[in-house]
Structure 1
Amino acid sequence: MNTGKALRLDRIFNRNTRRTIIVPMDHGVTVGPIKGLEDIRDIVTKLVNGGANAGLVHKGCVACGHRSEGKDFGLIVHLSASTTLSPYPNRKALVTTVEEAMRLGADGVSVHVNIGDDNESLMLEQLGRTAERADYWGMPLLAMVYARGPKIKNEYAPDVVAHCARVGMELGADVVKVNYTGDPDSFLRVTESCCVPVVIAGGEKLDSTRDLLEMVKNSLMAGGAGLSIGRNVFQHENPTRLVQALNAVVHESASVDEALHILDN
């Protein structure tokens, strides 16, 4: 592996556990300034204090979230976007480049692909070309790959999620983000067929913190490398404590009950 890429991955992953807690905060482009993301610098501070490994934002939020004190925090710049106001919300367009992300100080970049969409071929081309540029510069690439389109009956089905992970891996991503399939046995098929780290998405807000922690714990049992979860983290009533609990599960192999105890204290 390129030395520069290895160094940057060490700023996104815990080098001892080879796992990560990434909190995406790119939702503003998609759905607007939702609860929890009104003040980017404030939420970044809370996440850093909890021990998150990295945050993921669009290029314009890099300056908004920059802090001049406190612990360091891995920076992933998201390169693709769409809005829910568009007639084609699943069609992701590249809105910046690997080179611009580098100038902003990024430790990694990410691209979103929706396989099964009518514009799948465009997004696959974007992923492939971005992977080439990222590898040239030694920049880690996270591929968010979901199945969304007229032929997709269940985007959480194990075969479908495994296909998503494989697409990201085969087109050059260093890390793949996919949906969790619901149980460790089915998710094991996803991780075993993908030779790069697999992190799980959080999706819509879950009913309880226990549900979130159990999902993360079970994904790790199946070979997952951690999480890239946004709303279920930054919209929590106490994001700092929640990240501390997630940190215990992901990096310290704590049980769900032990992690919940952190939240109660």
Structure 2
Amino acid sequence: MTPYRLNRLFNPLSGRALDVAVDHGFFGEASFIDGIESMSHVIDVLVGAAPDAIQLTLGQSRKLQARPGKDKPSLVMRTDVANVYGNPLDTHIFSHHVPNAIEEAVRLDAVAVCVNLMQLPGHPEIREANIRSIMALRKEATRYGMPLMIEPLVMQDNSHAGGYSVDGDIDKIVALVRQAVELGADLIKADPADDLSVYSRVIEVADGIPVLVRGGGRVDDRTLLERTARVLDAGASGIVYGRNIVQHPNPAGITAALMRILHEGASIDSALATLEEVAR
């Protein structure tokens, strides 16, 4: 993997990145598209807010990349689709990656592609499908110099926690992150842990592979900013947040606040003040 594309993802001064994930519609769950029904509008808002990257699917990436100018956020392209988030689960569950995903990402001028590595209780076949996808994508990603972001996702049993609930057990997260590294990740998009005081273990096991931390469920602004600061202090190279930005009443404001913490090392109070200063 060459660093050329990643030079357009990470801020050259801070070495960090904010990737806003808006790939939720790919998974076919009605609740996932609350607040993002009009993707053209969502992308308008995000381009104006200027995060480092926006994470989109094959079908939505063109809405970003067709815009003129060289200062828009970089594209991270989601490559796989699964039906593992329903409650109850479908009787047949699956995970597949997009055919020719890496070539599509090259044509769309993406800076990286993202693929899941899911640990779903009682369904080892999903992890196997993810591993097969990762191995196929890794081969083509190497050929085209496309950075591969692997998303280790430790999930709770859907019948107990409902769809899209993660397991914050640090031991499980560390083990799955290590597997992602072994499979050839260029970037890791990792779960947050229930206990952030030990999150440095995730950074340690990634051992030089940049770790970007997922946002998880919606939380209040101060909690989100404090959690962001803590994972950065632990050694994370950035964040990949979705619902905490796109479902926020002021997406541009919360983006500006997060960017100040990421790239300027701003205090929580200063970042909150920035949020209030940015027009809704």
Give the CA deviation at 1:183.
4.0
Compare 141-150 and 238-247 and name the one that shifted more: 141-150
Does residue 234 of the first structure (1) align with residue 246 of the second (2)?
A: yes
* Gap change, CA 1:88 and 1:61, over 3 Å in 2: farther
Matched-pair identity in %: 29
Helix, strand or coil at the partner of 1:76:
strand
Give the Cα–Cα distance (whole angstroms) in 2 for the partners of residues 200 and 216 of structure 1: 8
Residue 54 (structure 1) aligns with: 53
The one-letter amino acid paired with 1:101 is: A
**Structure 2 CA distance for partners of 1:241 and 1:164, relative to 1, 3 Å:** same
| Aligned residue number for residue 76 of structure 1 | 76
Q: Partner residue of 2:271?
A: 259
1:247 to 248, 256, 259: 259
Q: TM-score, normalised by structure 2?
A: 0.85
SS in 2 for 1:176: strand
Moved more, 153-162 or 125-134: 153-162
Q: Deviations over 1:98-156 (max 9, x none)?
A: 11221222221110121253211221121122122112211011111112366xx9721
Match of 1:205 among 218, 232, 236: 218
User: After the TM superposition, which segments of 4 or more aligned residues of structure 1 sit over 4 Å from their partners?
Assistant: none
Quote the residue 1:136 is aligned against.
143
1:71-220 map, 5 Å = 71-83=71-83, 84=85, 87=90, 91-96=94-99, 97-116=101-120, 117-119=123-125, 120-148=127-155, 155-195=167-207, 196-206=209-219, 208-220=220-232
Tell me if structure 1 keeps the 8 A contact 2:8–2:74. yes
Give the conservation status (yes or no) of the 8 Å contact 1:181–1:187. Answer: yes
Which whole-Å CA distance do the structure 1 matches of 2:39 and 2:5 have between them?
23
Q: CA RMSD in A?
A: 2.2
Please say if residues 198 and 224 of structure 1, whose CA atoms lie closer than 8 Å, have aligned partners that are also in contact.
yes
The separation in 2 between residues aligned to 1:193 and 1:79, in whole angstroms, is 25
- What amino acid does structure 1 have at the position aligned with 2:152? V
Q: 1:23 to 1:255 in 2, by over 3 A?
A: same
User: SS of the residue aligned with 1:122?
Assistant: helix
Determine helix, strand or coil for the equivalent of 1:182: coil
Q: Match of 1:7, SS?
A: coil
Asked if structure 1 preserves the Cα contact closer than 8 Å seen for 2:50 and 2:72, the reply is no
Gaps of 5+ in 1: none
Secondary structure, counterpart of 2:153 in structure 1: strand
Query: What is the number of equivalent residue pairs in this alignment?
Result: 260
Q: Select between 88-97 and 108-117 the one with higher mean Cα deviation.
A: 88-97
Instruction: Kindly indicate whether the alpha-carbon contact (under 8 Å) linking 2:168 and 2:191 is maintained by their aligned counterparts in 1.
Output: yes
Q: Is the 8 A contact 1:113 1:145 kept in 2?
A: yes
- Alignment check: 8 A CA contact 2:113 2:147 kept: yes
Unpaired runs of 5+ residues, structure 2, are: none
Please tell me the residue identity of whatever aligns with 1:200.
V
Aligned to 2:16: 19
TM-score, L = length of structure 1? 0.90
1:223 aligns with 2:229: no
Q: 2:39 & 2:68 partners in 1: Cα distance?
A: 14
Deviation at 1:81, TM superposition (A): 0.5
Conserved? CA contact 2:257–2:272, under 8 Å: yes
| 3-state SS in 2 of match to 1:106 | coil
